[in-house]
Amino acid sequence: MDTYDLKIINLLMDNGRMKWADLAAEVGMSAPAAAERVNRLIEQGVITQFNTIIDAEIVGCECTAFVSVSLEHPKYRDAFITIVHQLAEVQECHHIAGEDDYLLKIRCKNTKDLDRVISHELKSVEGVYRTKTTIVMDTLKETNKLPLQPHKFRME
């Protein structure tokens, strides 16, 4: 990867719907060359997907919570991961070090809906023996943009 790729990635993190011509003009190359670079970054797995980011509150998901989950034994991991993938309310799932095993980011309608997700969905999975919930009062920053390391890109 080179500085052109770095510029392209940064621009697409800000606006994944950029037109090829606009992207090319920002980077300083032709539209076909920019498209070819983006396609190569996709093929290499650097760009994994393009998403639409929705305002959760506007569509009725007013409650955000982080839930740490502890399993009794690793043998319960597969069943837990299966339910996590099935629950649309679970936005993120991270296997973590420390006292707990997983950290989930959950978005749902309200605290009653959060109780349903935790008590009736997650805790119904065999082997889930403890959850700890932190409810978000207000979100001050949330981004999908990564802090890219320029030294990882060949300077040309």
147, part of any domain: no
Same domain, 82 and 128: yes
* Total number of domains in the chain: 2
Q: Domain span at residue 130?
A: 63-135
Has residue 154 got a pLDDT over 80? no
Residue 46 pLDDT greater than 70, yes or no? yes
Domain check: are 91 and 120 in the same one?
Answer: yes
Do 77 and 122 have their domain in common?
Answer: yes
Question: Domain check: are 37 and 73 in the same one?
Answer: no
Read off the pLDDT band of 156 (50, 70, 90): low
44: domain CATH number is 1.10.10.10
- When the pLDDT of each residue in the chain is averaged and rounded to a whole number, the result is 95
Using the predicted structure, report yes or no on whether residue 155 has a pLDDT greater than 70: no
| Same domain assignment for residues 68 and 41 | no
**Coil, helix or strand for 66?**
strand
148 located within any domain? no
Q: 58 lies in a domain?
A: no
Look at residue 142 and tell me if it is in a domain. no
- Please give the average per-residue pLDDT across 100-112, as a whole number: 98
More confident residue, 66 or 149: 66
Is the model more confident about 85 or about 3? Answer: 85
pLDDT at 150: 81
CATH of the domain at 112: 3.30.70.920
Tokens of 99: 């006292």
Could you tell me which residues come within 8 angstroms of residue 144 by beta carbon, excluding any fewer than 6 positions away? 13, 51, 53
31-43 vs 3-14: helix axis angle to the nearest 10?
Answer: 90
In a domain, 140, yes or no: no
CA dist., res. 34 & res. 38, Å (int): 6
Among 87, 83, 99, 90, which Cα is nearest to 66's? 90
Dihedral over Cα of 31, 34, 145, 155: its sign: negative
Note whether 32 and 75 are same-domain residues. no
69 and 37 within one domain: no
Is the model's pLDDT at 152 over the cut of 90?
no
**Cα–Cα distances in Å, from 143 out to 33, 114, 130?**
28, 23, 29
User: In the predicted model, what is the mean pLDDT of residues 38-51?
Assistant: 95
Residue 122 lies in a domain: yes
21 belongs to a structural domain? yes
